[in-house]
Structure 1
Amino acid sequence: MDRFDRAGRWAAYGAAGAMAPYALIKVSWVVGAIAGLLPIGDGFGLAGWVVLNTVTIGMAGMAGMGITMALALVRPWGMRIPGPMMAFVAWVGTGFLVSMLPYAVLDSLWGMSGGEPQRQEVDGPSMPGWEAALIQISFVGMGLGLAVALPAYLRRRWPDVFTGRIGEDSGGRPSPVLWAVGIGAAIGIVWLYWAFGGTAGVAHPADRSANWRLLMGVCGLWALTASAATWAVSRGRPARLPRWIPLVLGWLGTGSLFAWSGWKLPFTLYLHMARPADFSLPDNLALAAVLHTAAVTAGAVMLSAFIRTHRRSTAPDVANAF
């Protein structure tokens, strides 16, 4: 076991340990509310409070999948998991967590530099500061762990994935991939336009916060990154670029498009149909739903370009795992 494999091993265990508190916190909220041990949130009845937090249990279930995936990256049984299943879970997980590491860093720097203060209402119960900090540590720790452990796993299981240069590929991709590249780029431009203060397509400009604009900016950059990486692999240009560069960037960018828009789309549709009086987003909900639907589709279609590249660059018995 070399130094990189040892780092991947410790990173995988660290990722699993970092995410465990998040699942425990979410379960404790629901159990505590039902048992009457925790106060019910302001404006919610018991049923509404349980439904709200039960939704977070679904996220805790995803956290459980993340913990399992982190352990699979380092334990021997992880090498026996079918390739498509492991690849999909890793793609979604890194799209959720690793792609948001720049946001976590910039958000922390913004707060420390005296940017927009984060205020909490004092009416009714609120999340203790230590819980909020622990949740943030869970996600950041999981993202950092996956960023190290996943490449180490891929190198062990598919050592030829990132070898060679993209110009060595035959090039030529079906038109759906190229259409997805254009759609992803257009989505990224729209999100960056909103991040830099544009108001066209924004229903409630006054509700925009610095965090909202920062998130739009990070998501927009990943959308453009996904499109640029897919275009490079699809066209075989620049010809001498090491294959691992667009593959890594494309993996993260397409995963970010698919995972984050796939998570936001159901909530956007709910808000668009229910129109709750006490909650709103800056976005035009109809436009946001269209963008998220397009982002999920574009991310999935662009991923197919990287899978085809992997199949051509590996031996047949390895490629058949996908």
Structure 2
Amino acid sequence: MNTQLLRSSTAIATVLACLPYLSLKVAWILGIPIGIPEASALRDPSSQGLALGANVLTLLMDVILVALILLLTRPFGRRVGATPLLFVSWGAVGLLAPIALGFAAQQAARLLPGPGSDPPAPEFLDPWVPLMVYGGFTLQGLGLSTLFVLYAVDRWGGLLGKPLTTASAPPHRTPLRLVAVLASVSALITLSLQVMWSTGSTIGLTESMAAGQGVDQLLVHAIHAAFTISAMVGVLLLAFGTIRLPTWVPLVLAWVGSGAMAGWGAWSILSGLLLPSGAEPATPLMNLATTAQLLAGMMIAVAGMHWLAERWAISGPPTPRSSRSAADQMSPAK
């Protein structure tokens, strides 16, 4: 398929995947309780202010996603600096990737014989709402990932395709290694707890979480553990790696993994601050896991940007593929 056709069709499909969620959020903000059962806690008058704030925030997050899609696909996106695009894409992919994998794993678990899902819980939302929302998030994650890959290859393909060991060692390798080690130590804290909870342990969980620790929640813990491992492997390869891998391999591992860690760590902290009065607060171990997750994700992202900056300083900024092709056509040797 033509690259431009793939980019355009993926952008349209991704924006369309945002519309059901955006429509639902607009309805809730306007006070239309579509998809919310009569007995749901979301209809509690005492929590309406908090619910409105959460709905406005998540609506704005999806609007930002639509704007990001335009920046990644339209010519004016090239006039935007790399740093803000990388940061927003990093956060968006980091939030969406665990949802996409978790939703797919949970639906697959339901198809398996035996207890493939959690026991029924009191109705919070109509059954079709989570399917629509998480199905939409999955499509958004796949679409955004595809668009960012196309954008990155077009803009930085000359660097991403080089072997990891091609350039000489950056002059500030020691600070990079120190940050990578500190980040990995922090990541190991949250990883150990994620693995423990993914195997069925309820140590350190709230009473309500421990009571609802079924297949769905075990899969969520396992998937977050996988992203933590991805981030650790990626940053350690960048800092210490002598394996002749393409540069994009450790960068993708570190970028997606750290985005998931920092994004969900920040979201968990924000959610804890916005808990309604009387709600069950997180335990000290849960707070430890969340804090370590956020810190490690941020440090790994900083280490990755540091590695890229030094690699560019050694070999020069990568030439965009489109510019390289034009130069090749004008070369007398051609």
Cα pair distance change 1:161/1:17, threshold 3 Å: farther
The answer on 1:214 being equivalent to 2:216 is no
Residue 30 of structure 2: SS of its match in structure 1?
A: helix
Counterpart check, 1:259 vs 2:263 = yes
Name the stretch that deviates more: 160-169 or 136-145: 160-169
Measured against aligned partners, the alpha-carbon deviations of 1:190-222 in whole angstroms (never above 9, x if no partner) come to 201110123332343333222221111100111
Q: In the TM superposition, what is the alpha-carbon distance from 1:69 to its structure 2 partner?
A: 0.7
Contact 2:186 2:295 in 1 (8 A): no
Residue 199 of structure 1: aligned partner = 202
Structure 1 counterpart of 2:146: 148
Match of 1:305? 303
Give the aligned partner of residue 69 of structure 2: 70
Mapped contact 1:16–1:68 kept (Cα < 8 A): no
**Number of the residue aligned with 2:117:** 116
Partners of 1:43 and 1:20 in 2: CA distance? 22
Match of 1:294 in 2: 292
TM-score (norm 2): 0.82
Aligned-pair distance for 1:128?
3.4
Quote the Cα distance in structure 1 between the aligned partners of 2:95 and 2:42. Answer: 30
Deviations 1:222-270 (A, max 9, x none): 11110111001101232x1211111111111000001011101122345
Provide the rounded CA distance (Å) in 2 between the counterparts of 1:94 and 1:257: 11
1:19, CA displacement in angstroms?
1.1
Answer whether contact 2:187 2:228 (CA < 8 A) is retained. yes
Structure 1: where are the runs of 5+ without partners? none
Deviation, structure 1 residue 87: 0.8
Count of residue correspondences: 306
Counterpart residue number, 1:182: 185
Contact 2:93 2:144 in 1 (8 A): yes
Gaps spanning 5+ residues in structure 2: where?
A: 320-334
How far is 1:297 from its partner? 1.6
Asked if the contact 1:233/1:246 (under 8 Å) is kept, the reply is: yes
Q: Distance in 2 between matches of 1:213 and 1:261?
A: 18
Change in 2 beyond 3 A, CA 1:17/1:234: same
Residues 166 and 243 of structure 1 are in contact (CA less than 8 Å); yes or no, is this contact kept in structure 2? yes
Structure 2 residue aligned with 1:224: 229
- 1:225 and 1:43 map into 2 onto residues whose CA distance is 36
The TM-score with structure 1 as length reference comes to 0.85
Give the Cα separation in 2 of the matches to 1:118 and 1:152. 41
Shift of 1:13: 2.1
Q: Report which stretch shifted further, 64-73 or 160-169.
A: 160-169
Contact 2:103 2:135 (C-alpha < 8 Å) held by counterparts:
no
The CA distance in 1 between the partners of 2:48 and 2:68, in whole Å, is: 30
1:250 to 248, 254, 257: 254
Kindly indicate whether residue 25 of structure 2 is the aligned counterpart of residue 21 of structure 1.
Answer: no
SS in 2 for 1:73: helix
Q: Structure 1 counterpart of 2:242, which letter? A: R
SS across alignment from 2:102? helix
Instruction: Say what the alpha-carbon RMSD is for the aligned residues.
Output: 2.7
Q: Is the 8 A contact 2:99 2:137 kept in 1?
A: no
When structure 1 is superposed on structure 2, of 4-13 and 37-46 the one drifting more is 37-46
CA contact 1:5–1:152 (8 Å) conserved in 2? no
- Shift, 1:120, TM fit: 4.8
Determine the C-alpha separation between the residues in 2 that align with 1:192 and 1:269: 25
**Residue 101 of structure 2 aligns to which amino acid in structure 1?**
P
- Report how far residue 57 of structure 1 moved: 1.9
Aligned-partner Cα distance in 2 for 1:84–1:61:
21
